[in-house]
Structure 1
Amino acid sequence: MEKTEFYSHIFKRKSIRNYDLTPLDDARLKEISGYLNSLKPIYDDIKTELKIISPDYVKRRMMKEAPHYIAVFSEVKEGYLTNIGYMLQQADLFFSANGLGSCWQGIPSPTKELLGSSNLDFVIFIAFGKPKDPRSLHRSSVSEFKRKSIGEITDIAGADELLEAARIAPSATNSQPWFFTGNKNLIHVYSVEPGFIKRFTKKYIPIDVGIAICHLQIAAEHFGKKAEIIFDKTVKMKMLKGHEYVASLKME
């Protein structure tokens, strides 16, 4: 399944927290593993490792159990968290498009055995499996998303069709920590600096912005545009109060 086919699932995906705990069969897990190996990064020079694991290696901390988890590891370099968000949202949409539920898991932590299984740093989990109630897999309407309005996340005119996909992207505590400026052919992506109360989610802001960039690029490609993620040093030098420049999406 090509990434552009995920566009429709952006508008009906949801985070699944209640699972049928029956493990998926080996053939299905092999298919998922193969897809994980094909995920496209923003930064080719950042090493990542994704492991499909059982719940035995997850300290859930009162979170509900799932039959399977993806343990995400990464080399720690500039942009690594945004890179993880971008990559793993492809997996989130893959699950939604293939009859499985998933959910980003920021609270659970890895066991010592899992930490010792990789030379890279642990970042986050994604839970996945069959939803306990198959009818709960997808939203029936965009109105079910509780999100900021377009006007709260951008000052770009004429790009609502593209930015709607980013607007409804998932984020930790539904904080939606992104802002888009520029124009419909060159969109600059900023992260919002966390307020005092939100500082405990600071780690997840770059991940969330990577998720939004993934949605934005999928939307651009859906509408027939060639969309390239670039890093514009001149934009980075132009500070936007209360925000930090992350990347830009150049469209042709």
Structure 2
Amino acid sequence: MTNPTALPQFLHFTDPGLREQIEALPEGTALIGISTTGQAIAVDLNAESPHVLVCTATGGGSTTMLRSLTAQFLHQGAHALILDPKRISHLWAKPLTTVTHRGNTAGIHDALVHLASELERRLDLDGDLDDVPRLIVSVDDANTTLRQLTRYWETFRHNDDPKTSPAIAALEEALRVGRAARIHVLFSGRPQGTVLKGAVREPFATVILARFTADTWQRLAPIAGPAPKQHHPQQGRFHVVQQGDAHETQAIWMTDGDVVKWLTDPDDNES
């Protein structure tokens, strides 16, 4: 049984030693936070099914989680496509040269259609990807994004066009074979059959949950045991499910300013 008081109330990127711990991680690994047992809980993109699902209620910290993970992979040399349907959740990313930030529906649609071409190009390299940067596809507020993409496609598709939006099909394909192309999806939302065709859990090696219902837990973390009781969830506290185990974890807090400063001036070690 874990002791929820073993963690600090807040875990900031600038806390002593934490940035050094993050920067010492191997390429393709990002720190989520510290568990109640003191264990470092991380995402490993080199694992099987190397995609991440973040599912929280409103205000549960999903945007903060996407920012932290995406920033860490960018620091390691990855590129990122950030889909931001609210248009303001990830403004930190707009000035970065290794990031494509899209907010309006037309831009998100076109970016995902281009993703399909990039996925095919990478797969044609037959594994010769040593000089190809990882690509992180960060989908914030994914359910809103998918609804908007569906409506957008319905407005101009012709009778002989596929019913499914090509943008949604591209995202589904990235979830299916992205590992072989060094393309990884960070999906914030409740997965729907529209995208995953009923495979709710399989594409994700890491599931990060906060402010969840018992039904959500049963759908997304069934082999991790019964849903934990969450009467008063603490800010920044998540349950991370990996390989059938659930870890109550205090996540790293990285502000927009932290991220931009770190990525544009990586030699600056000031707190």
TM-score by length of 2: 0.26
Give the TM-score normalised by structure 1: 0.27
Q: Which protein has greater RCO, CA pairs closer than 8 Å, 6+ apart? A: 2
